[in-house]
Amino acid sequence: MVVGSVARGCQVVVIGAGPGGYVAAIRAAQLGKDVILVEKEERLGGVCLNVGCIPSKALIHAADLADELRGAKKMGLKVEGLYVDLPQMVRWKDGIVQRLTGGVKFLCEKSGIDVVHGHAEFVSDRKLAVATSDGRVDIDFEAAIIATGSRPMGLDGFPHDGEKIIGSSEALSLQTVPDRLVVIGAGYIGLELGMVYAKLGSKVSIVEFLPELVPDLDPEVAKALARRLKKLKIDLHLEHRAERFEEGTPSVVVAQGPDGELRLEADVVMMSVGRVPNSDGLALDKVGVTTDEKGFIQIDDRMRTSIPGIYAIGDVVGGVLLAHKAYQEAKVAAEVIAGEPAAFDNAAVPAVIYTDPEVAWSGLTEREAADQGYSVVTGTFPFSASGRAMSLDSTDGFVKAIADADSKRLLGVVAVGRGVSEFIGEATLALEMGAFLEDVALTIHPHPTMSEAFQEAVEAALGRAVHIVNT
């Protein structure tokens, strides 16, 4: 056991081993840098890998499979006595997480990265103090990358106890399916996990302060999601402000809406009202790193903060809070530190909501394109006209291509439907390469697939759709 203070030095120290942090550490090591990675938790991978992106998708897949089995009768598949063993489902999910976190640890070891577990604070613009279980480790560095991520936002009136009032982390490890689940917030996480538990047998109600779902996207996206929520018998209460939780038999969530007070019985309440950056606790004020009024660290396109030699990436810098955005920012930061000509371009950052149906988009929405002064042309192909969607019994949704009407350059893509997460990468590649509608239209897509709807949408924008009527 080490007692007291131990001094160490490195060229690059990375604070936080989430998607951004471990990628930054590995990339810096690839570029020949001596790297120390600091992580306060026992396992590497951060929120995304341990209690976020990966485990939630495992439960989503399991819930989707259960729902499909129940509805397979019309296909000639009769499943009797389907039983949801939630503890086994959670164990299966945990096994996936364990394998992946172990993989990250292995990669860091093979890259020669020194991992220190503990809480880091800045002592100066070239020194960190890390409080470990064995004492204090002082780390002198040439460059630091802050990758501390974000955490769920709380809400007055709903004291988090991890049992009746939970966050998404606890929702991924419940041992019983709640009879009545109230979700506060209709953001991505709230919609995803709300649908999961509805499919597993919960009576789900969602309370949302805003007047519409996914307000930044196409109105048809919200309509498709609303239809599915209704089919799953999820009660959606828009324009309602959640006020308090009243514990009792039964416990009740109280909200205020256009028609007055709403009272919803709840066995479990899941909070999903946004996230705040983990920039506090780093003693940033000691070194003068600038943050905005919400605590997000301010950076330029090279991930540089206001203090030379200190960089920041991922959720802690704001913008879209997505793991793959953090991946790219991590590579940029490491490469800039190594003297490479790198910069972050956020013109086309794909995003996915893993609801049923999935929602995916990249580039500009139709509204954003118009706001930026473009004369907009769009083409939409509905999955109701797709043979592959019919064969999958998943015809709800569409693909919309958004383009500049004058140059015919592709500006954005919005998609709703089964598996759209798997081809939004193609759309992003087209956007990154500055593709025109003609480029996509001339790209032969395999048939029958869901992805060919992208080509069909582009052809509709050109006025030469074949499998739908041109408008």
- Band (pLDDT 50/70/90 cuts) for residue 6 is confident
Report the alpha-carbon angle 351-355-358, nearest 5.
Answer: 60
Which residue from 259, 266, 213 is spatially nearest to 244, judged by alpha carbons?
266
Question: Are 458 and 401 within 8 A, CB to CB?
Answer: yes
| Average pLDDT score over residue span 47-72 | 94
pLDDT value, residue 251: 96
pLDDT value, residue 5: 73
Q: What is the mean pLDDT of the chain?
A: 96
Which pLDDT tens digit goes with each residue over 73-106? Answer: 999 999 888 999 999 999 999 999 999 999 999 9
Which pLDDT tens digit goes with each residue over 182-199? Answer: 999 999 999 999 999 999
Looking at residue 246, what DSSP letter applies? E
Q: What is the C-alpha separation between 447 and 387, in angstroms, rounded?
A: 9
Only one residue has tokens 């893993």, namely 354
Question: Are 64 and 356 within 8 A, CB to CB?
Answer: yes
Q: What is the C-alpha separation between 184 and 188, in angstroms, rounded?
A: 12
pLDDT value, residue 1: 39
pLDDT value, residue 471: 81
Only one residue has tokens 């473009």, namely 374
pLDDT value, residue 85: 96
Q: What is the C-alpha separation between 158 and 264, in angstroms, rounded?
A: 14
Q: What is the C-alpha separation between 212 and 252, in angstroms, rounded?
A: 24
Q: What is the C-alpha separation between 290 and 428, in angstroms, rounded?
A: 32
At 24, list the tokens. Answer: 């930054």
What residues contact residue 179 under an 8 Å CB cut-off, 6+ apart?
202, 203, 267
Q: What is the C-alpha separation between 181 and 153, in angstroms, rounded?
A: 19
Q: What is the C-alpha separation between 285 and 308, in angstroms, rounded?
A: 15
- Band (pLDDT 50/70/90 cuts) for residue 372 is very high
Phi-psi group of 326: left, alpha or beta (phi > 0 → left; psi -120 to 50 → alpha; rest → beta): alpha
At 202, list the tokens. Answer: 């919960």
Which pLDDT tens digit goes with each residue over 131-141? Answer: 999 999 999 99
> Which of 213-227, 230-244, 389-403 comes out lowest in average pLDDT?
213-227
Percent of the chain scored above 90 by pLDDT? 94
Residues belonging to the chain:
471
Domains of the chain in start order, with CATH, are: 5-152+276-337 (3.50.50.60), 165-273 (3.50.50.60), 351-461 (3.30.390.30)
Residue type at 324 in one-letter notation: H
Q: Which residues are catalytic?
A: 447
At 255, list the tokens. Answer: 């909200």
Asked whether residue 381 carries a pLDDT value surpassing 70, the answer given is yes
| Average pLDDT score over residue span 252-278 | 97
Asked whether residue 121 carries a pLDDT value surpassing 70, the answer given is yes
Helices 19-30, 86-110: axis angle to 10 degrees equals 20
pLDDT value, residue 216: 87
At 94, list the tokens. Answer: 């945990």
Question: Are 307 and 299 within 8 A, CB to CB?
Answer: no
Which pLDDT tens digit goes with each residue over 327-369? Answer: 999 999 999 999 999 999 888 999 999 999 999 999 999 999 9
Percent of the chain scored above 70 by pLDDT? 99
Which pLDDT tens digit goes with each residue over 313-335? Answer: 999 999 999 999 999 999 999 99
| Average pLDDT score over residue span 272-278 | 96
pLDDT value, residue 295: 97
Question: Are 317 and 13 within 8 A, CB to CB?
Answer: no
- The DSSP bridge pattern shows strands 203-207 and 180-184 to be parallel
Radius of gyration of the chain (CA): 24
pLDDT value, residue 4: 59
Neighbours of 244 (CB within 10 A): 13
pLDDT value, residue 13: 98
- Band (pLDDT 50/70/90 cuts) for residue 2 is very low
For 23, phi then psi, to 5°, come to -65, -40
